Amino acid sequence: MTVAGVVAPSKTVAAEPGHFGYGRAATPAEIAGWDIDVRGDDGAGLPAGQGSVVRGGNVYGAQCAACHGTFGEGEGRFPKLAGGIGTLTHDRPELTVGSYWPFAPTLWDYINRAMPMPAPHTLSADDVYALTAYILHLNDVVPGDFVADRNSLPKVRMPNRDSFGWTDPRPDTAATPCMSGCAGPAGVAITSSAEGKHLTPRTTGPLDTMQPK
């Protein structure tokens, strides 16, 4: 079914019920309450409000530092938020807001919808702007006097912005279903084994709480 096939001219359809008529029209107020998404690349959907780096530092200390570390270094296995710029080609790359995220408004959207983890979507728009400004500043992406709002945030250019391709290039392997004599001249050799690595939790009895040695 094509999109065009579904849609009749909008002026006539808008006043008619759907094919089944189940449910009811969403009111503007209902839509406004749940319509929280902010588009990453251009910030469409960003609300009114603003927040400075300085204010963000205070909010961060109260709401974020316990897990993400005072300077965004990440406590334990919680995500690191800052640093790692230039490491994406390294053997052990560090993927952070500064080194990896392509779009600044995505940061506002994610903090707003999912953080702080114990009480998601409870921060004011101003606090979310302030946190966004602070985390960008931790990454040296914006200066210390930066104030984030719906106009300034989409203009922030993230260091890794142009490194993403948004069209899937797979299939990117060209295996053939060889049935016999398939090994190369070097034959078959085991290059690694999980034996003896002590990383595997037990798969019988009670749940394991093991940590790597």
Partner 1 sequence: MRAGFWRGIPLAKRTPSLGRRTFLRLGAAVTGALALRQGHAETPITSPPADAPWSQTVGPGVVDRPYGRPAEAEAGVIRRNVPWLTAGTESSISFSPLQDLHGIITPNGLFFERYHAGRPEVDPEQHRLMIHGMVERPLILSMDDIVRFPSQSRIHFIECPANGGMEWRAAQLNSLQFTHGMISCAEWTGVKLSTLLDEVGVRREARWAMVEGADGAHMNRSLPLDKCLDDCLVVYAQNGEALRPEQGYPLRLVVPGWEGNVSIKWLRRIKLGDRPWYTREETSKYTDLMPDGTSRGFTWLIDAKSVITFPCPEKPLHEPRLYEIRGLAWSGNGKVRQVDVSTDGGVSWQRAALHDPVLSKALTRFTLAWRWDGGPALLQSRVVDETGYVQPTIAQLRASRGTNSVYHNNSIQTWQIKPDGSVFDVQLS
| Member of 4, 29, 48, 155 binding partner 1 (CB under 8 A) | 4
Residue 178 neighbours by CB under 8 Å, 6+ apart:
none
Q: Is 129 in the site for partner 1 (CB under 8 A)?
A: no
How many residues bind partner 1 (CB under 8 A)? The answer is 94
Closest approach, Cβ 112 to partner 1, in A, equals 9
Q: Are 137 and 148 in contact (CB under 8 A)?
A: no
Residues numbered 155-174 forming contacts with partner 1, rule: CB under 8 A: 160, 163-173
Residues numbered 44-73 forming contacts with partner 1, rule: CB under 8 A: 67
For residue 98, the number of C-alpha atoms closer than 13 Å in the C-beta half-sphere is: 22
Q: Is 139 in the site for partner 1 (CB under 8 A)?
A: no
Query: In terms of CB distance, is 62 or 117 closer to partner 1?
Result: 117
Q: Is 29 in the site for partner 1 (CB under 8 A)?
A: no
Instruction: With CA atoms as reference, report the closest residue to 54 among 149, 143, 158.
Output: 143
Q: How many CB atoms lie within 10 A of CB 158?
A: 21
Q: Is 94 in the site for partner 1 (CB under 8 A)?
A: no
| Member of 6, 48, 143, 155 binding partner 1 (CB under 8 A) | 6
Classify residue 67 by burial, with Cβ atoms within 10 Å: 0-12, 13-18, 19+: middle
